[in-house]
Amino acid sequence: MNKRKTGAEYENAAAAWLETKGYRILEHNYRTRLGEIDLIAEEGEYLCFIEVKYRSGTGFGMPAEAVDRRKQQKILAVSKYYLTVKGYWNRSIRYDIVEILGNQIRVIRNCFGG
């Protein structure tokens, strides 16, 4: 299976799991020339920009460790564009990572920001 298809499957699984936790998914794979955000959702008062990371094991570290400074900067740039386009500057925002390790899923809330 190719990486894009595998990524899409785990992003869909993450979105479904987040919905069971009370998130409302607004966007899947929001893409601009600046980059891409896996999921954009609302949880309570927060507009959440969510990166989904999967690993089958910890041989290369925890999934969230793959969201390095460079990836964070891209997500921040895309989120600022999204906020501008949608006119959401008055929203409380948060940057989350959904970490999938094997068949375990967890959300790490507010894990970076600008």
Q: What is the per-residue pLDDT across 47-100, written as a single tens digit (0 to 9) for each?
A: 999 999 988 888 888 888 889 999 999 999 999 999 999 998 899 999 999 999
Residue 92 belongs to a domain = yes
User: In this structure, is residue 77 part of a structural domain?
Assistant: yes
Give the burial string for 32-65 (b: 16+ CB within 10 Å, else e).
Answer: eebbebbbbbebeebbbbbbbbbbeeeeeeebbe
3 is a domain residue: no
When pLDDT is averaged across residues 32-51 and rounded to a whole number, the result is 96
34 inside domain: yes
pLDDT at 31 over 70: yes
What domain range is 33 assigned to? Answer: 25-108
Residue 11 and residue 110: Cα distance in Å, rounded?
19
Could you tell me if residue 88 is inside a domain? yes
Domain count, the chain: 1
The answer to whether residue 89 is domain-embedded is: yes
CATH number at residue 79: 3.40.1350.10
